[in-house]
Amino acid sequence: MDEAKGPTPENQTILNASHARGRVGVVAIGRNEGERLIQCIDSLAPLGLPIVYVESASTDGSPAMARTRGADVLDQRPEVAVVCGRRRERFPDAPFYNRMCAVRSGFGYAQVWWTTRQTGKTLYAREVARSLFWALLLSLLVVTAGLLNPLYWLLLPAIYSLQIARMAIRSNVKNSFFWKLAIPNILGKFGETLSIFRFIVRSLKGQRGGAIFYK
């Protein structure tokens, strides 16, 4: 979109439909963004949509900057912050690391599951269960069986190898990326499980999570 000329014809069609329904607005979330905040709001102005800036305890005058640009500013509860969404790599097809950044945090899984468990719309329950199964339950079962017969210990690497192959075949057996991704996905279950137990320990101690700042 060219800021000086306004929305493209394609975007204008979407905007017209959105205005007719009265359902679309823009929410910008930031902390000490300075010039980037100004550029963000200015680039949105030609759309003619409501803009809300959610303030996160900035010390650089960001709320005032947003107000001078015509945005509504939400900064009445500086001790509270709620962020919803999903971050993705800007260039997911660049290096392998970028492409595997969909690996999640076990701590986050557990935290969101615990918070939403009584809402009727529990989130990440399957992810928590999956991590605990592959990294904890399966290992305990095989190790216990191995105490009766050491040959059972051979089952563990065999099962993990079959799961890696299944994940790669299900995605795209001919694409080497999915074979490379399947391995850290399995290994990541152990890290996720450790993070789940870390969340449990912090919860039992009554420790609350802090803010996460990123740029």
For the chain, what percent of residues have pLDDT higher than 90? 21
The C-alpha angle 198, 136, 127, rounded to 5 degrees, equals 70
pLDDT 10s digits, 105-126: 677 788 888 888 877 778 889 9
- Could you tell me the residue range of the domain that residue 148 belongs to? 96-204
Is the domain of 133 the same as that of 199? yes
pLDDT 10s digits, 69-97: 888 888 766 555 555 555 555 555 555 55
Residue type, 154: L
Is the domain of 196 the same as that of 110? yes
When the pLDDT of each residue in the chain is averaged and rounded to a whole number, the result is: 77
Report the predicted TM-score, pTM, of the whole model to 2 decimal places: 0.53
Does residue 82 form part of some domain? no
| The total number of structural domains that make up the chain | 2
